[in-house]
Amino acid sequence: MKNRLYELRTEQNLFQEQLAQKINCSQQLISNYETGKLRRVPVDFEEKLCNYFNCSIDYLRCRSNVRNEEKYSDTLIKIEKMIEEFYLNDNTKKGSKQDLSEEELANFLEILSNFKDILKKFPTP
Last residue of a domain, one of 42, 60, 78: 60
Same domain as 50, residue 24:
yes
| Residue 85 belongs to domain spanning | 69-119
Question: What is the predicted pLDDT for the residue at 87?
Answer: 63
- By three-state DSSP, how is residue 90 classified? strand
Torsional class of 13: left (φ above 0), alpha (ψ -120 to 50), beta (otherwise): left
Task: Give the number of other CB atoms < 10 A from CB of residue 66.
Answer: 19
C-alpha span between 52 and 45 (Å, rounded): 11
Question: What is the predicted pLDDT for the residue at 92?
Answer: 47
Last residue of a domain, one of 12, 27, 60: 60
125 residues of the chain, pLDDT tens digit each? 457 999 999 999 999 999 999 999 999 999 999 988 888 889 999 999 999 999 988 889 888 877 777 666 667 777 777 777 766 665 545 544 556 677 877 777 787 777 777 766 665 54
Same domain as 53, residue 6:
yes
Question: What is the predicted pLDDT for the residue at 45?
Answer: 95
Beta bridge pairs of residue 96:
91
Residues sharing a CB contact under 8 Å with residue 20, sequence separation 6 or more, in sequence order: 26, 27, 29, 30
